[in-house]
Amino acid sequence: MLGLNKNDLTLLLVVAVLTLFAPFILNPFPADSAMAQFNAGYPDLMQRFIIFGIFAIGFNILFGLTGYLSFGHAAFLGVGSYAAVWMFKLLSYNVVPAIGLAIIMAGLFSVLIGYVSLRRSGIYFSILTLAFAQMSFALAYSVLSNPKFNLTNGETGLQVYKNDPQIFHGEGMQDFPHFFGIYMNSTHTMNVGAWSFDFNAGYYLCAIIMIAVFYLSIRIFRSPFGMMLRAIKSNQTRMSYTGLNPRPHTLAAFVISGMYAGLAGGLMAAMDPLAGAERMQWTASGEVVLMTILGGTGTLIGPVLGAGFIKYFENIFSKINDNILHQWFAFLPDGIEDFVVFIIHPFIGKGWHLTLGIMFMLVVIFLPGGLVEGGQRIGKWIKSRGKSDDKTATTEPAE
Amino acid sequence: MGILEVKDVGKRFGGLQALGDVNLSVKENSVHAIIGPNGAGKSTLLNCLVGKLIPDTGSVMFDGQSVLGRSPHEINQMGISRVFQTPEIFGDLSVMENMMIPCFASRDGAFRMHAVKNMMTEKDIVEKAEAMLVDMNMADKRHMHADSMSRGDKRRLEIGMCLAQEPRLLLLDEPTAGMARADTNNTIDLLKQISDERDITIAIIEHDMHVVFSLAQRITVLAQGTPLVEDDPENIKGHPKVREAYLGEAA
């Protein structure tokens, strides 16, 4: 079905079900219980899961398949955001033209950057993309925000003002992005007993788009084009001596992943109509690299997992503070309680980067295939345990 | 007029004259060997033929067209395939995928985007790759990871990948270097079979005289960047200039 084999179809369905039911899955704790701070099912965070998931899926098409490590993908995210906000300013708050222009602009931008950067490979390619991204950041932050020609509005960030043209903005419309009248910030809250679940229009727009682009990425991975990209990663010499030109292949992959980043940037602006230059900074580019590696480079689902994992840590771990720790360890004797809190203190709150860093190191060292490899190992372990329980295990000869 | 005509080709690296006035003519559908001691310029010459190096002087014509200034993939698309000294295959891909890629290259050219096409609906490619694997006696290995095979099998796969493109000229750079005797003999048999059964010209660079004299119909001896002799194998064996080049003047 859908031109996918059984495994890929199952994966797509699982992802679809998980994203559509995320408001339930991410809110497992009752709203006023002590564990409620671990709930991730509020609209803002769920939107971020999905948007960064899209960003990482696109990045993985370039990095996972061709092995070209771009350190400048945040530039395309930023371009997408600026393009979307300009559409809000000029046309109306409808998200469709905004997201459309975001993808197109990011695509054009990536043709330009890719054409130059892809003349080199390996570390030189990474440095070139990093340089371009930092140039874009500098342009957005200062150069393109002078009174004569204000494209980006500098450090304030680009936003919609009352005196903007907005030629299609109807009377009586709210000043917030909408999808043909459905406002992105409209949320329906469902209370079931002590639990509360939020269903947000913006989240569902992002979710449906993500399922679509995830499907597209499966098709690309399984297509002849995807095979060519893996061939480039494996052996570029053989590639050119087989009569294939690696350059247009890598450029196409670069542009596709740039357009994914632009889509993510456009959605970001659609959820919150503001675009700032910091979105283009190199830390943002580094983050998507971390997400992809943490989840599993070159796997289909890995980048989405990695994105969710990092965003969860960023938002949930950073909110734990010493008071909460004292509550948790209140059962310990006073001296020991203070000591335990003292030990854990650097890893929480603003120190969540430290926890993330340790997790990242552990994953890279022990699970080079990322979280996906971890999942596969657990799966195998459960299977093999089931077998030995049945006493039907057969030893297979090693190859 | 041969299918490959090399005229007065010279190549200089700084102070070293790697090739000087090399003339070579490879006849269509023959097996032509290029031999010579270390540093004779054999590999430099080969690199000039496939677009990796551009000679300083002279011309290289393939089937009446110049190959100079073209990039490796363009030269390949003209009908020249190259087998490397150490097998160059797509190690991370399966054997079947390795075989499918050249099939795509010969059907679709240097670049064509099939971004959302399903691999298994490309029946002609799959069938061609399968048939080639059968020809190469590798059908049972199709799902193997290419890197996990033995060196002999990798060489066999690489030759198969080159043949899948139906090239008119197959260039081999020391195809048996570093191989055990048994693997070497297998490779000789395979190459013999290829040249008998197919409409193909083979040019081979080789150190191993056993391989050269079992295969070649014509031999060029290269020494210090210039061709010494070009003749039939029987005449090469006892040629005084060849002995001199290989064994030094005292011989």
CB contact under 8 A, B88 and A248: no
**A8 vs B contacts (CB less than 8 Å):** none
Structure tokens at B180: 């055990």
CB contact under 8 A, B110 and A244: yes
B158, B185: one domain: no
Number of structural domains in chain A: 1
Q: Who contacts B123 (Cβ-Cβ below 8 Å, separation ≥6)?
A: none
The CA distance from A115 to B250, in Å, is 59
Q: Report the DSSP pairing between strands A182-183 and A274-275.
A: unpaired
Q: Which tens digit of pLDDT belongs to each residue from A161-192?
A: 988 888 888 788 888 999 998 999 999 999 98
Q: Which of A95-109, A285-299, A337-351, B188-202 has the lowest mean pLDDT?
A: A337-351
Instruction: Check whether B130 has a pLDDT greater than 80.
Output: yes
* Interface residues on A facing B, Cβ-Cβ cutoff 8 A: 3, 216, 219-220, 222-228, 230-231, 233-235, 237-245, 248-249, 252, 256, 399
B72, B172: one domain: yes
B184 at A interface, C-beta within 8 A = no
Q: Is residue B70 assigned to a domain?
A: yes
Q: Is residue A348 assigned to a domain?
A: no
**A231 vs B contacts (CB less than 8 Å):** 90, 93, 97, 101
Higher-confidence position of B156 and A3:
B156
Report the gap between the CA of B241 and the closest CA in chain A (Å).
35
Confidence at residue B234, expressed as pLDDT on a 0 to 100 scale: 85
The CA distance from A295 to A364, in Å, is 10
Closest CA to A133 of A266, A246, A258: A258
Q: Is residue A308 assigned to a domain?
A: no
Count the Cβ atoms, other than its own, within 10 Å of residue A74. 27
Q: Do the Cβ atoms of B188 and B102 come closer than 8 Å?
A: no
Q: Is residue B90 assigned to a domain?
A: no
Confidence at residue B3, expressed as pLDDT on a 0 to 100 scale: 92
Instruction: Check whether B90 has a pLDDT greater than 60.
Output: yes
Q: Do the Cβ atoms of A244 and B105 come closer than 8 Å?
A: yes
Number of structural domains in chain B: 2
B198, B241: one domain: yes
Confidence at residue B201, expressed as pLDDT on a 0 to 100 scale: 95
Q: Locate the DSSP E strands across chain A.
A: 158-159, 178-179, 182-183, 187-192, 195-200, 274-275
B172, B67: one domain: yes
B10, B74: one domain: yes
Question: Shortest CB distance from B105 goes to which of A222, A230, A244?
Answer: A244
Distances (CA, A) of A81 to A156, A257, B209: 14, 16, 67
Closest CA to B52 of B40, B69, B32, B33: B69
| Phi, psi at A396, each rounded to 5° | -95, 140
Q: Which tens digit of pLDDT belongs to each residue from A49-105?
A: 999 999 999 999 999 999 999 999 999 999 999 999 999 999 999 999 999 999 999
CB contact under 8 A, B93 and A231: yes
Q: Is residue A71 assigned to a domain?
A: yes
Structure tokens at A112: 């330009």
In chain B, which residue's Cα lies nearest the Cα of A217? B116
Q: Do the Cβ atoms of A21 and A216 come closer than 8 Å?
A: no
The CA distance from B107 to B128, in Å, is 11
**A227 vs B contacts (CB less than 8 Å):** 93, 97, 100-101, 119
The CA distance from B164 to B169, in Å, is 13
B54, B129: one domain: no
Closest CA to A129 of A317, A261, A305, A235: A261
The secondary element (H helix, E strand) that includes residue A106 is helix A95-117
Confidence at residue A399, expressed as pLDDT on a 0 to 100 scale: 41
Structure pTM? 0.92
Q: Do the Cβ atoms of A316 and A46 come closer than 8 Å?
A: no
What is the arithmetic mean of pLDDT over B98-109?
Answer: 94
The CA distance from A248 to A364, in Å, is 32
Structure tokens at B112: 């064509």
Distances (CA, A) of B18 to A78, B39, B40, B66, B249: 52, 8, 8, 21, 21
Structure tokens at A191: 């209370």
Q: What is the per-residue burial (b if ≥16 Cβ within 10 Å, else e) of A285-299?
A: bebbbbbbbbbbbbb
Count the Cβ atoms, other than its own, within 10 Å of residue A331. 6
B142, B200: one domain: no
Confidence at residue A222, expressed as pLDDT on a 0 to 100 scale: 92
For residue A374, the one-letter residue type is G
Which of these three, B165, B200, B217, is where a domain ends?
Answer: B165
Per-residue pLDDT band for A392 (boundaries 50, 70, 90) equals: very low
Q: Do the Cβ atoms of B157 and B136 come closer than 8 Å?
A: yes
Closest CA to B19 of B29, B4, B34, B30: B34
In chain A, which residue's Cα lies nearest the Cα of B76? A243
DSSP code, position A195: E
B106, B134: one domain: yes
Please, what sign has the CA dihedral across residues A4, A7, A10, A15? Answer: negative
Count the Cβ atoms, other than its own, within 10 Å of residue B126. 16
Higher-confidence position of A120 and B118:
A120
ipTM: 0.91
Q: Do the Cβ atoms of A89 and A97 come closer than 8 Å?
A: no
Q: Supply the range of the domain harboring residue A187.
A: 6-25+41-281
CB contact under 8 A, A219 and B115: yes
B173, B251: one domain: yes
The secondary element (H helix, E strand) that includes residue A205 is helix A201-222
Q: Is residue A209 assigned to a domain?
A: yes
B77 at A interface, C-beta within 8 A = yes
The secondary element (H helix, E strand) that includes residue A136 is helix A122-138
The secondary element (H helix, E strand) that includes residue A326 is helix A322-328
Q: Is residue A113 assigned to a domain?
A: yes
Closest CA to A294 of A370, A378, A377: A370
Which of these three, B106, B133, B165, is where a domain ends?
Answer: B165
B157, B227: one domain: no
Q: Which tens digit of pLDDT belongs to each residue from B42-87?
A: 889 999 999 999 999 999 999 999 999 899 999 999 999 999 999 9
Q: Facing residues of A182 across strands?
A: A179
The CA distance from B251 to B238, in Å, is 12
Q: Is residue B84 assigned to a domain?
A: no
Q: Is residue A343 assigned to a domain?
A: no
Q: Is residue A83 assigned to a domain?
A: yes
Q: Is residue B88 assigned to a domain?
A: no
Q: Supply the range of the domain harboring residue B38.
A: 1-79+167-251
Instruction: Check whether A397 has a pLDDT greater than 50.
Output: no
B62, B174: one domain: yes
B75, B197: one domain: yes
Q: Who contacts A5 (Cβ-Cβ below 8 Å, separation ≥6)?
A: A222
Q: Is residue A233 assigned to a domain?
A: yes
Count the Cβ atoms, other than its own, within 10 Å of residue B91. 16
